[in-house]
Chains A and B, each alone.
Chain A
């Protein structure tokens, strides 16, 4: 969820259409706060791994991962 947000609204108005991906881009490459953006990236990775893990456990029962 980055390209559509970037092209259409850029997160406006007031962050109403902002996604985590776009947030990371804005913090990192617009305000150059790389530490904050890195922390957000790691947090998003943790969330992704958690959700993916639940999904894989639920739908791939044949011993995969």
Chain B
């Protein structure tokens, strides 16, 4: 924050930032807008050899996905899997994150880093064990398998994600005595 303020006081041009950010936003949005424009034109104009700058408007493709595919069912699957995995993660991560942030015990940093490090692993490494696990549990081809897999993969981020140093976040809110005690605690934790 302080750094930003000094830089701005030195007279760095704010508009340049906006131009760069706007250009980057346009770059990121372009493929999405392109797909939207493809989705809203009739089939013959998608595969036309020459570019068509003023395509005719058509909702045929949108009609088709709702008519020929069980889109509502797919959306419900996603909602169930995501909502369930969030609930599982919160139930597991809230106590874990609280204990990592507020208490000092042997191996606290190591346990926290271990939880975070599961994120560094490529999910493909555990794909085969997970497949056999779900097969033995009879969960293949169910939304529950998806829910559990999401919960397992995202647990590290839910536990360690928001605010890398929980001590500091707490320090800013807490009063003086609390802050001093916490700092003392943190030093003790690092010395070990």
Contact = CB atoms under 8 A, between A and B. Distances in A.
Contact of B122 (A37, A38, A44): A44
Given A52-B117, A52-B120, A62-B190, A44 B110 contact: no
Given A63-B109, A63-B190, A41 B124 contact: yes
Nearest to A37: B128
B124 A65 contact: no
Per DSSP, chain A at the interface is helix
Contact of A45 (B113, B125, B131, B190): B125
Among B114, B117, B123, B125, the one with the most A-chain Cβ atoms within 10 Å of its Cβ is B125
B120 A24 contact: no
Q: Which 10 A-B pairs have the closest CB atoms?
A: A21-B124, A65-B113, A41-B125, A24-B124, A45-B125, A28-B128, A21-B122, A52-B120, A63-B190, A64-B109
Interface of A: 1-2, 20-22, 24-25, 28-29, 34, 37-38, 41, 44-45, 48, 52, 56, 62-65
